[in-house]
Structure 1
């Protein structure tokens, strides 16, 4: 899930870039800082630090700094940069508050600090309110991941139920709900949720892999092996295929 969390961070950056500032100069500086990260994040980090310290870069500078640090796998430092950006955004009543708390939480998930990530993602949920259901669903989904890693399965179940109610078409939320139900021993719920996830994303390797897991947990080893073999053929370089090969013993 760490790769998915990283993608969420970058997706948040794309949204933020669209809404970063009404100031054309500030928007141009932010765009240049973020766009340079993919090719060489170190100069973007240095630029963002200087921009924040010397030129009053505000929220955009701090967010770009966080993204540059994520690209260098300095996840704990990135989380601190996002928290600084989120706190400043709260003071300025900047509309990116929820995005920034969400990025801070995802950075801590990448850093392996799930317990602290829960707190930041709770702040993201609170800042989102009730007027952006898809965004809120994503933050509940992120907090559920953190809760599973932290061993707080009751919180994970509440968050996954909330995520799927806010966005019932999200196959990844349904897949994670199915995986948690399997872990909880509720195979009926697991089978219903994975069927719903598969209906929405039939070729997704993660969904397929979990289908195999649930089949195996239900005692249908033939189906489980067939599905895992399909994963290895359909997406051979994916994490799901690697896990499927381990299940198959190959």
Structure 2
């Protein structure tokens, strides 16, 4: 889940170009800060603010707090409403609210809703290249969930072009290429992802997955062992442990002897 940083939900123009903040803007900033620290309290505060005619800023914070509290199904309509109202008011932050709605929709398993929201976010010129790349990555995830692999590939290619430093774009590109049996592409993508995210267990896990698909058991084993070393308490480590056990169960006696001697 890729929650947008707080500053991306706030100012859409340089600080020097902004007028003095209104009371609503101050309350919005405080609400977002509270949401990042105590989402349950922010949910209650934002809900009360919305009832007191807090408008789309109250709804945006309410949705952000719900998403931060992993209540993604409830966050989606709240963020969608915030984005719709902000867009009607001409607030450029609408694009970021749409992107956040799409992000939450993916986590809620609502891929079609996510694509619609992310399309609206990307239709705006308010997002910079880094934000657009993040939205394209999310859009790719939703498209693949809908079985639209070619569209997902195109979205990831756009993300890599917009922000070559976006490790998630390269990692997801590698995963999708492997699933489509495009192993040379998968290998190239995962090598770039590893250079950008050298300590990410998800990258090592995918590197192992690509290696095993290519028939390279030794590299797969090393990568999965690296997953456990990097993030012993991660969910990727659980998967890697299971993969290693399955690999050991199918290994030849010679391979087992080699693994035990290391």
Q: TM-score, normalised by structure 2?
A: 0.85
Partners in 2 of 1:248 and 1:48 — Cα distance? 47
The corresponding residue for 2:166 is 170
Task: State whether residues 9 and 97 of structure 2, in contact with CA within 8 Å, keep that contact through their aligned partners in structure 1.
Answer: no
The corresponding residue for 1:249 is 245
1:196 matched to 2:192? The reply is yes
Task: State whether residues 172 and 207 of structure 1, in contact with CA within 8 Å, keep that contact through their aligned partners in structure 2.
Answer: no
Task: State whether residues 168 and 193 of structure 2, in contact with CA within 8 Å, keep that contact through their aligned partners in structure 1.
Answer: yes
Q: Which of 3, 9, 12 lines up with 1:9 in the alignment?
A: 3
Report the Cα offset of residue 203 of structure 1: 2.1
The corresponding residue for 2:124 is 127
1:111 matched to 2:70? The reply is no
Deviation string 1:11-49 (CA, Å, 9 cap, x unpaired) is 2x3322345985242232123322323454333223212
Task: State whether residues 128 and 136 of structure 1, in contact with CA within 8 Å, keep that contact through their aligned partners in structure 2.
Answer: no
Task: State whether residues 86 and 101 of structure 1, in contact with CA within 8 Å, keep that contact through their aligned partners in structure 2.
Answer: yes
Q: Which of 63, 72, 75 lines up with 2:72 in the alignment?
A: 75
Partners in 2 of 1:39 and 1:138 — Cα distance? 23
Larger Rg: 2
1:30 matched to 2:55? The reply is no
Deviation string 1:112-155 (CA, Å, 9 cap, x unpaired) is 111221111111111247x7222111111001111122222111
Q: How many matched pairs? A: 241
**Structure 1 alignment gaps of length 5 or more:** none
Q: TM-score, normalised by structure 1?
A: 0.89
Report the Cα offset of residue 187 of structure 1: 0.5
Over aligned residue pairs, what C-alpha RMSD do you find? 2.0
- SS of corresponding position for 2:96: helix
Partners in 2 of 1:51 and 1:133 — Cα distance? 33
- SS of corresponding position for 1:65: helix
1:96 matched to 2:89? The reply is no
Q: Which of 46, 49, 64 lines up with 1:48 in the alignment?
A: 46
